[in-house]
A and B are shown apart, each in its own frame.
Chain A
């Protein structure tokens, strides 16, 4: 089996991974980025809305344009960066300190890396209800991929489940593509996403039904409707039920960090509800309990892409430093200042609480 070697292996070419790769390559590290999709950019390439944050996080710029900015930065250091797309890292074998990867469908190879940055992002959650396997039930990520990558609308009338930022933004994007939103249902008593994103769809006439959820999908072979119901403070269905006419049910009910590689590397993992699943303990350099493993972005806890990009910078900076390459300490401080700002608001409260549980000052026995 073929074997490649690299200084820094970045697993995942999304917001966090590209930022990490750009940072480490600029410092002079030989970086290999492995991305399972056909192109780099991760979720950024599907984001047609303008980002929040400050100038440092490209506020006011649409997500897909931010992907281009990061790709340009990598291109400027292309002598240091090798990119493998359509390639999946399939495992890490701790006894040989070896990654295995698969290019396309059949070509397997090994990767030996001095340092690894796991920027694997997240997976969508789905919720159980009768007929949720019927054609017409989508995850929000699939809807975004269809519309914003391939230019295909998924249907004509959508029931959106979940009013977090993804549910709100994807609803808006569906309307831009000429698709009607029958309603957005949200189990909690307030929207989970930014209030302004909700206001944007409300003023276009979309009802947001708080304390409501989906009971079942209706239809014979494909979705033709849904039954929704009110839920109480404990998310238990009330007797209030309603039929919704729709051909698409779009689930935007949250994400879970993708952490298999971190588990395989033996990193200290902890379930943190505020970060939406099992995540690795980390120090302020985004290094895990494994001295050669860093992680950044949604893999370290579900948060906005703006924060993922800064975490990627920190991880890339630290991985390069650990190779003995010259890096500027003030950049590290600057990145943390940005992160602290991004997390200072009311939406950041949950993130701060979650990170507090897994942030380590030092590692035992190192």
Chain B
């Protein structure tokens, strides 16, 4: 087994796979509010991302075990799937936020809940601190204790940042 396979087998995405692909570059760079990035590379019986998607950008599943496929033209970056996904595997990344920063809309179920304006650690897929970020908003779309934290951070880490940690 290669090191990359070992890493993947422990729950770290190492390359694009069915159910975990990046949005098309041109559309991603121009789409206001951002596009969804789904990292769900295993066939498991689960479909709330599709059933909650108001525009059906997450395509209907032929089989509930299918991995998600996305019609990026339809995605509005609303982040409802971010709030709903039981696996916390949906993220929205908005590359139009500012010339040098992207806005990440990330699921967050830890305490303490950060507030707008806070500086937080932005974490990569193994929990490594990638950059400092600024909390732009905290919302709880489904009022079910899954917060969606909007955090701005340098654009170059669009493919790296997937979580935050509140620094005391």
Q: How far is the CA of A346 from the CA of B63 in the complex (A)?
A: 13
Query: In the bound complex, what is the Cα–Cα distance between A123 and B168 (angstroms)?
Result: 40
| B56 contacts partner chain A, Cβ-Cβ < 8 Å | no
Cβ contact within 8 Å between B65 and A344: yes
Contact of B86 among A50, A178, A342, A343 (CB under 8 A): A50
Instruction: Please tell me if A204 contacts chain B, counting CB pairs below 8 Å.
Output: yes
Contact yes or no, B6 A344, CB < 8 A: no
Whether B27 sits at the interface, judged by CB under 8 Å, is: no
Q: Provided the pairs A197-B87, A344-B64 are in contact, do residues A53 and B163 lie with their beta carbons within 8 angstroms?
A: no
How many Cβ-Cβ contacts under 8 Å join chain A to chain B?
A: 131
Given known contacts A199-B125, A203-B124, is B10 in contact with A210 (CB within 8 Å)?
A: yes
The minimal Cβ–Cβ distance linking A151 to chain B, given in whole angstroms, is 14
Q: Counting CB contacts under 8 A, is B71 at the interface? A: no
Q: Within 8 Å of chain A (Cβ to Cβ): is B123?
A: yes
A176–B89 contact, CB under 8 A? no
Do A49 and B86 touch across chains, with their CB atoms under 8 A apart? yes
B144 touches A189 (CB 8 A): no
In contact, A199 and B127 (Cβ under 8 angstroms): no
Q: Are A190 and B42 in contact (CB under 8 A)?
A: no
Please give, as numbers and ranges, the residues of chain A lying within 8 Å of B167 by CB-CB distance.
Answer: none
A202 within 8 A of partner (CB): yes
> Which residue of A is nearest B51, CB measured?
A55
A204 touches B163 (CB 8 A): yes
Flag if B127 contacts A198 (CB, 8 Å): no
Interface size on B, residues (CB 8 A): 42
Residue of A nearest to B39 (CB): A199
A50-B146 in contact given A178-B111, A203-B163, A205-B127 (Cβ < 8 Å): yes
Say if the beta carbon of B2 comes within 8 Å of chain A. no
**If the complex has contacts A60-B84, A344-B64, are A205 and B44 also in contact, measured as CB distance less than 8 A?**
no
Contact of A203 among B1, B63, B162 (CB under 8 A): B162
Instruction: Contact check, B65 vs A345: say whether CB atoms are below 8 A apart.
Output: yes
- Chain A residues near B46 (CB-CB < 8 A): 52-54, 59
Q: Does B99 contact A (CB under 8 A)?
A: no
Chain B residues 43 to 71 lying within 8 A of chain A, measured CB to CB, are 43-48, 51-52, 63-65
Contact B44 A341 (CB under 8 A): no
- Are A176 and B109 in touch, CB under 8 angstroms? yes
B165 within 8 A of A: yes
Interface bits B82-93 vs A (CB < 8 Å: 1, else 0): 001011110000
Partner of B63, one of A59, A344, A347: A344
Distance between B45 CB and nearest chain A CB, rounded to angstroms = 5
Are the C-beta atoms of B44 and A196 separated by less than 8 Å?
yes
Residues on B with beta carbons closer than 8 Å to the beta carbon of A306 = 45
> Is A175 at the interface (CB under 8 A from chain B)?
yes
Question: Which residue of chain B is the closest to A184 with respect to CB atoms?
Answer: B10
A189-B9 contact, Cβ under 8 Å, with A178-B111, A202-B125, A203-B123: yes
B40 within 8 Å of A by Cβ? yes
Contact partner of B45 among A50, A54, A205, CB < 8 A? A54
B41 at interface by CB-CB < 8 Å: yes
Q: How far is the CB of B148 from chain A (nearest CB, A)?
A: 14
The interface residues of chain B lying within 8 Å CB-to-CB of A344 are: 45, 63-65
A51–B84 Cα gap in the complex (Å)? 10
**Residues of chain A lying within 8 A (CB to CB) of residue B6:** 189, 210
- A199/B11 in contact, CB under 8 A: yes
Whose C-beta in chain B lies nearest to the C-beta of A195?
B42
Determine the residue in chain B with the shortest Cβ distance to A49. Answer: B86
Q: Given the complex of chains A and B, what is the CA–CA distance between A348 and B42 in angstroms?
A: 12
* Candidate in A55, A189, A203 with the most chain B CB atoms within 10 angstroms: A203
Q: Kindly supply a per-residue 1/0 record for chain B positions 12-45, scoring 1 wherever the CB is within 8 Å of any chain A CB and 0 otherwise.
A: 1100000000000000000000000001111111
Interface residues of B in 106-164 (CB under 8 A from A): 109-111, 123-128, 144-146, 162-163
Cβ-based interface call for A62 (8 A): yes
Question: What are 29 pairs between A and B in contact, CB < 8 Å?
Answer: A49-B86, A53-B46, A54-B64, A59-B86, A60-B86, A176-B111, A189-B9, A191-B9, A191-B10, A194-B87, A197-B87, A198-B10, A199-B87, A200-B87, A200-B88, A202-B10, A203-B126, A203-B162, A204-B123, A204-B127, A204-B165, A205-B165, A341-B63, A344-B45, A344-B63, A345-B44, A345-B45, A345-B65, A346-B65
Closest 6 CB pairs of A and B: A205-B127, A198-B11, A196-B87, A345-B65, A190-B9, A50-B86
